[in-house]
């Protein structure tokens, strides 16, 4: 099984991924928890380039292809082998991040990006993608609060984007999920980590995935 978690920066994906990993390990699964960008050896270098706040001159198209390169390598070298070995793969962000951030966020055509993602993943999509839905102002405040006081500046290039950018990202996720109810589910992420986790498990049970 292959599950992905998505959502705006600060929505709580990383916490939920940790809770889900523990949940599935308790239930006897061999779990691979991974992330994008950066889930492969090549991806590790690409992540540094992609999230460097000083890299202000990367064009939107170059950025798109770097995310696609990260994903192509991640799928071929890490995710497919893990699935073939019978492991459960949990991924912090996947192709929908590209459709939403580079498409809805940067203003490129989401359906064209879907096609490019389909090529990059060589047809492999998660069994379910869970979108943690949270108002961007709340999510960004959370992201800021988790940083040590000494590091007041935004962590990556995306956290430094305007609120309007993150509002487009959030709306993009909701639009995409509404068009793809089979492979995506939206979960309200405004509650406590435990409450959000309970909702995720309920969604997985409803779909026969947990």
Q: Which of 23, 31, 32, 37 binds ligand TYD (CB under 6 A)?
A: 37
* Interaction of residue 6 with ligand TYD, rule CB under 6 A: no
Q: Which of residues 51-70 bind ligand TYD (CB under 6 A)?
A: 51, 67
Contacts of 181-184 spanning 24+ positions with Cβ under 8 A = 183/125, 183/126, 183/127, 183/128, 183/129, 184/96, 184/128, 184/129, 184/130, 184/131
For the chain, what is the radius of gyration of the CA atoms? 16
Q: Which stretch binds ligand TYD (CB under 6 A): 79-87, 91-99, 128-136, 186-194?
A: 91-99
Q: Which of 2, 101, 173, 197 binds ligand TYD (CB under 6 A)?
A: 101
CA dihedral for 139, 141, 142, 147, sign (positive or negative)? positive
Helix (H) or strand (E) holding 119: helix 110-120
Count of positions on this chain that bind ligand TYD (CB under 6 A): 16
CB of 9: closest distance to ligand TYD in angstroms?
A: 4
Contact present, 91 and 79 (Cβ < 8 Å)? yes
Binding to ligand TYD by CB under 6 A, coded x per residue (else -) over 108-147, reads -----------------------------------x----
Q: What residues contact 209, with CB distance under 8 A and at least 6 apart?
A: 1, 3, 127, 128
Using the 8-state DSSP alphabet, how is residue 85 labeled?
T
* Interaction of residue 93 with ligand TYD, rule CB under 6 A: yes
Q: Which of 34, 98, 129, 199 binds ligand TYD (CB under 6 A)?
A: 98
Question: Which residues contact ligand TYD by CB under 6 A?
Answer: 9, 13-14, 36-37, 51, 67, 92-93, 97-98, 101-102, 143, 156, 158
């Amino acid at each position: 099984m292959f599950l992905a978690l998505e959502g705006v920066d600060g929505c709580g994906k990383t916490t939920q991924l940790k809770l889900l990993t523990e949940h599935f390990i308790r239930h006897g699964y061999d779990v691979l928890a991974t992330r994008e960008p950066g889930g492969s050896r090549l991806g590790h270098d690409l992540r540094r380039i992609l999230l460097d706040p000083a890299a202000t001159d990367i064009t939107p198209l170059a950025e798109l292809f770097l995310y696609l390169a990260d994903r192509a390598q991640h799928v071929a070298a890490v995710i497919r082998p893990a699935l073939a070995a019978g492991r459960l793969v949990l991924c912090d962000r996947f192709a929908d991040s590209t459709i939403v951030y580079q498409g809805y966020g940067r203003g490129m055509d989401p359906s064209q990006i879907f096609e490019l993602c389909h090529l990059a993943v060589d047809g492999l999509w998660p069994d379910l993608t869970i979108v943690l839905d949270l108002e961007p102002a709340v999510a960004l405040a959370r992201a800021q609060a988790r940083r040590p006081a000494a590091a007041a500046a935004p962590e990556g290039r995306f956290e430094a984007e305007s609120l309007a950018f993150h509002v487009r990202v959030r709306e993009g996720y909701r639009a995409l999920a509404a068009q793809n109810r089979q492979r995506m589910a939206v979960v309200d992420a405004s509650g406590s980590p435990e409450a959000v986790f309970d909702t995720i498990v309920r969604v997985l049970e409803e779909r026969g995935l947990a």
